[in-house]
Amino acid sequence: MAVYQSDGKKLIDVEYDAIVEVGDMVDGMRVLSTHAKSSEEYCVFLLEPVSRRIICYIFDEIFIIGKSDEFDDLTEAVEAWKNDEI
């Protein structure tokens, strides 16, 4: 399990080839699932500990290129990602 922190725009103090995986922690949230769209762009689905909502971070390498926090469950979030809604 890796623990990552971000500055809101990129992961801090990591190599460019770092890949966030299921079970890792990002900004204090547990990674529940990841889905790749290309070899560099992927979405990470995180569980927000207080509200229990699903937070999505979209990465291009270590850079956060998008975020969404509008999902109540993982299934809904993954479907939105697959349908290009986030």
Per-residue pLDDT tens for 5-42?
Answer: 999 999 999 988 888 999 999 999 999 999 987 777 89
The DSSP line for 40-52 is: SEEEEEEE-TTT-
Given a contact cutoff of 8 angstroms between Cβ atoms, the answer to whether 45 and 27 are in contact is no
Structural domain boundaries, residue 11: 3-82
**pTM, full prediction:** 0.88
CA atoms within 13 A on the CB side of 57: 28
Q: How many domains does the chain have?
A: 1
Q: In this structure, what DSSP letter does residue 6 have?
A: B
Type and span of the H or E element at 58? strand 54-60
